[in-house]
């Protein structure tokens, strides 16, 4: 969606819980016209690769669904139709919330007519909706989707340098397809991450269709039967340290400067940020 809409979410955090259903509803409506139910999950991201505000949805759907007779049917999702539906429904969301009188705006509009004129201009702007080409390479699909499940604003592998007062991290700039770097103070870096923390009990990952919690117990066995596939077996759970290494190829307990394994030495509670930094510097100096 256009970047002019992003700041409104921080004034109206309730909106974060509404746009996932809007995105999934578009896919479900297209599938319903074929009289089938598809499987969908969405991941809400509020950040861009440079840690700035960038509200967007990652949605994954099966390329087919099951009908009321238990038969599987493939389905095609037209890109242009999805783009138009997404733009129309997001703008309608803001218009309806404004009519309710519950929308807090960073810019003052004299009346509803002025606000609607601003929204109308957004119809003339090209909205970017990227549709991945369907693939039957399941290993690649899982690796691609796995990056977006509970993904943090930035991975450890992107942090290149920390000197005690500043942090340097790299990111891929999609506009020119080059690697860019940003250096900022420690506190600005921390605040850039904190603002993307979801509210307590807020679900960033949501499931719809035959993957929803309400229907999956009944429908998933029918789906496995329709596609002639056995239900997957549960594999042994691996530890968080190995999970991070497999994803980022970086050991979270390895010192970024000398690669020596780090060990927990002390825990400080209730310290202000300046005092905490002083304690950290004291500890680093003692190791020299």
> How confident is the model over 160-183, as pLDDT tens digits?
888 888 999 998 887 778 899 999
**Predicted TM-score of the model (pTM):** 0.76
Read off the pLDDT band of 150 (50, 70, 90): low
The pairing of beta strand 205-209 with beta strand 64-66: unpaired
* pLDDT (mean) for 83-90: 93
- pLDDT for res 20: 95
Cβ contact 61:40 at 8 Å = yes
Cα atoms in the Cβ-side hemisphere of radius 13 Å centred on 62? 21
Tell which residue, 92, 20, 14, 28, has the closest CA to residue 58. Answer: 20
**Ranges of each domain in the chain:** 1-153+201-232, 156-195+248-258+270-288
C-alpha–C-alpha distance, residues 23 and 88, integer Å: 11
- pLDDT for res 94: 93
- DSSP tag of 124: T
- pLDDT for res 268: 66
Per-residue pLDDT for 232 more than 80?
no
The percentage of residues in the chain with a pLDDT greater than 90, rounded to a whole number, is 42
Tell which residue, 69, 79, 101, has the closest CA to residue 30. Answer: 79
Per-residue pLDDT for 287 more than 70?
no
Q: What is the pLDDT of residues 238-278, one digit of tens each?
A: 788 888 887 777 888 888 778 888 887 777 666 676 777 77
């Amino acid at each position: 969606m256009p970047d002019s809409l992003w700041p409104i979410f921080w004034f109206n955090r309730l909106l974060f819980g509404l746009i996932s259903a809007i995105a999934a509803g578009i896919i479900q409506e297209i599938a319903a016209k074929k009289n089938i139910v598809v499987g969908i999950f969405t991941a809400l991201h509020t950040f861009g690769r440079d840690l700035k505000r960038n509200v967007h949805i990652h949605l994954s759907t099966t390329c087919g669904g099951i009908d009321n007779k238990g038969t599987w049917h493939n389905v095609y999702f037209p890109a242009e139709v999805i783009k138009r539906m997404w733009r129309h429904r997001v703008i309608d969301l803001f218009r309806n919330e404004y009519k309710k009188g519950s929308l807090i705006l960073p810019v003052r509009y004299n009346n509803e007519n002025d606000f609607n004129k601003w929204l109308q201009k957004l119809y003339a702007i090209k909205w970017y909706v990227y549709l991945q080409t369907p693939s039957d390479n399941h290993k690649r699909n899982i690796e691609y989707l796995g990056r977006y499940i509970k993904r943090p604003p930035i991975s450890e592998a992107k942090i290149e340098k920390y000197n005690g007062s500043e942090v340097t991290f790299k990111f891929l700039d999609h506009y020119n397809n080059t690697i860019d770097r940003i250096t900022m103070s420690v506190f600005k870096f921390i605040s850039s991450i904190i603002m993307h923390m979801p509210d307590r009990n807020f679900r960033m990952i949501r499931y719809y269709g035959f993957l929803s919690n309400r229907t999956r117990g009944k429908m998933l066995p029918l789906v496995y039967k329709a596609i002639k596939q056995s239900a997957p077996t549960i594999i042994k759970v691996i530890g968080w340290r190995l999970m991070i290494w497999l994803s980022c190829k970086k050991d979270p307990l390895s010192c970024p400067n000398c690669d020596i394994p780090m060990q927990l030495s002390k825990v400080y509670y209730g310290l202000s940020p300046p005092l905490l930094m002083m304690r950290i510097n004291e500890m680093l100096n003692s190791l020299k």
